[in-house]
Chains A and B, each alone.
Chain A
Amino acid sequence: LSASAIKRRRKWDIGKLIYMDNIEPKECISRWKGEDEEDDKDESDIEDEDSDFFTKKNGITAQGTDYTADLEKFVPYFEKLDTLAKKWSNFDAINDRFIGSPLKKVTQ
């Protein structure tokens, strides 16, 4: 599986990853997130050659086990209570989401 090591350095376009049926949803997200730090700009390099490459892997469709990829469960995933409590000890992160809080000026 040395191929996966090469792939890791690729810059993934999530819009394309979503529709690559041979890549599991979980894998899609992790590949896309894995590349996050490098900041994404060009996404043109994932073209036909790659999709060819991946079709060689057996066409897997996620089999039941993965609960996070199942819309049958209505309530989404949340962190544990104490993690959330720590995170939300103040409202700084979402203050701009409320009416009446100072807004950054809209350009454009």
Chain B
Amino acid sequence: MSTAKKSPYVLFQGSQNFRLRIVLATLSGKPIKIEKIRSADLNPGLKDYEISFLRLMEAVTNGAQIEISYTGTTVIYRPGIIIGGSHTHNCPPSKPVGYFVEPLLYLAPFSKKKFSIILRGITASHNDAGIEAIKWGLLPILEKFGVRECALHTLKRGSPPLGGGEVHLVVDTLISQPLTIHELERPHISAIKGVAYSTRVSPSLVNRMIDGAKKVLKGASCEVNITADVWRGENSGKSPGWGVTLIGETKKGWCYFAEEIGDPGAIPEEVGETVAYHLLEEISQSGAIGRTQLPLAITFMVIGKEDIGRLRISRDEVDERFVVLLRDIKKIFGTEAYLKEVDDGNSHDDDFIVTIKGNGFTNANKKIA
């Protein structure tokens, strides 16, 4: 506590939450220092994809300064102003495009110029956001906060390991601050939709995935609609691959989602089933939004107007990821979230309402204009 005050930087340790910390620093304009990045590891320091991410941040901002120590275990990041513009980014084969798109979503609405960024590389993986997860899972969250014109176009798909995909992120809405949201209910799911895709494999795999997922979801009391999306020829990248994303849609605009990709030798029906079960699990564990959507939503609540935003979350969503998210936010913005128990006599009355007072952040570029 006392050491952090004296340092000109907000101090962090370890490799976790790397992108979030850089993004929060950029939004707040505060320089940060991250120490001990994998310092006990066999390969210490930043990974190639993290360096690549820092390069991307340099490209979309003006005046950012990045200092990396010899061993790569310490980074000092002094953020610049978000300027956006048109860029092309070649992602390393170690991380899919989703890894890079995700943090851009936090910054794009507050840019000087519109974001139009082409990212090349792998478009799917087990651990990072896939194209559909961003398109159907994260962009709706942006929409709820007032960022209506944003899109992720799939120009080419590229399955791991060789990739060869290409996506185009376009964010046309430039706002000075996100809207304040008040979501005190668990929204009702009106439909389940999904996309099952394949690159360079037989289209029958796609149908088998759909069958697997539908078998699980047949008990759901709503419409289930899964689209087949088969990619052929030069737009389908360099490797064979396939996967499925399922989305639980609500009338209010919130949504829940789950996704998975198939490994070589995996059974398509099983992948379809897995994703369907994951969706059910995600729905059961979620309040107004899913676990993967929380960081984006909470961050936008923090940088919102000086007004109190409210969001219903479930008890299950209060996990370690939630704790580290709130701690990092407090460290950089000084904003604390309050958890209020719901207790309205309905089912799920052990939910919480997260209450956050926006810090009145204003897009620096908007102020001048």
On A, residues with C-beta under 8 Å from B are 14-15, 17-19, 21, 25-26, 28-29, 32, 59, 61-64, 66, 68-76, 78-79, 81, 84-85, 87-88, 90-91, 93-101, 104, 106-108
B16 to A, closest residue via Cβ: A70
Closest 8 pairs between A and B when the two form their complex, measured CB to CB = A84-B277, A69-B320, A70-B16, A25-B323, A25-B320, A15-B339, A99-B188, A76-B291
Return chain A residues, CB-CB under 8 Å to B292: 74-76
Return chain A residues, CB-CB under 8 Å to B318: 14, 29, 32
Q: Is the interface of A mostly helix, strand, loop or mixed?
A: loop
A93 to B, closest residue via Cβ: B284
B273 within 8 A of A: yes
Chain B: interface residue total (CB-CB under 8 A): 65
The total of Cβ contacts below 8 Å across the A-B interface reads 153
Q: How far is the CA of A98 from the CA of B217 in the complex (A)?
A: 12
B193 within 8 A of A: no
Contact for A63 among B36, B259, B337, B347, CB less than 8 A: B36
Known: A15-B339, A94-B284. A100 touches B347 (CB 8 A): no
In the complex the two chains form, is A99's CB within 8 Å of B189's CB? yes
Q: How far is the CA of A90 from the CA of B135 in the complex (A)?
A: 29
Known: A71-B16, A74-B127. A107 touches B40 (CB 8 A): no
Contact for A81 among B133, B273, B323, CB less than 8 A: B273
Known: A14-B339, A97-B186. A19 touches B330 (CB 8 A): yes
Q: Which residues in window 97-147 of B have CB below 8 A to A?
A: 98-99, 102, 126-129, 133
Known: A97-B188, A99-B190. A74 touches B320 (CB 8 A): no
Chain B: minimal CB distance from A28 (Å): 5
A78 to B, closest residue via Cβ: B278
Contact for A100 among B19, B128, B221, CB less than 8 A: B221
Question: 15 other contacts beyond A59-B1, A97-B283, with CB at 8 A cut-off?
Answer: A18-B339, A61-B13, A63-B14, A70-B15, A71-B19, A74-B127, A74-B128, A74-B133, A78-B277, A79-B281, A88-B216, A91-B219, A97-B186, A98-B188, A100-B222
B219 to A, closest residue via Cβ: A91
Q: How far is the CA of A32 from the CA of B220 in the complex (A)?
A: 33
Return chain A residues, CB-CB under 8 Å to B330: 19
B18 within 8 A of A: yes
Return chain A residues, CB-CB under 8 Å to B324: 25, 62, 69-71
A-B contacts, 18 of them at CB < 8 A, read A19-B326, A19-B327, A26-B320, A61-B12, A68-B321, A69-B321, A69-B324, A71-B20, A72-B16, A72-B17, A75-B259, A84-B280, A93-B284, A95-B221, A97-B189, A98-B222, A100-B221, A101-B221
User: What 1/0 flags go to B324-347 for Cβ under 8 Å of A?
Assistant: 111100100000111100001111
Return chain B residues, CB-CB under 8 Å to A96: 347
B38 within 8 A of A: yes
Q: How far is the CA of A8 from the CA of B134 in the complex (A)?
A: 41
In the complex the two chains form, is B326's CB within 8 Å of A72's CB? no
Chain B: minimal CB distance from A98 (Å): 5
Chain B: minimal CB distance from A49 (Å): 18
Known: A74-B292, A76-B291, A108-B345. A64 touches B128 (CB 8 A): no
In the complex the two chains form, is A64's CB within 8 Å of B347's CB? no
Q: How far is the CA of A29 from the CA of B324 in the complex (A)?
A: 11
Chain A: minimal CB distance from B105 (Å): 12
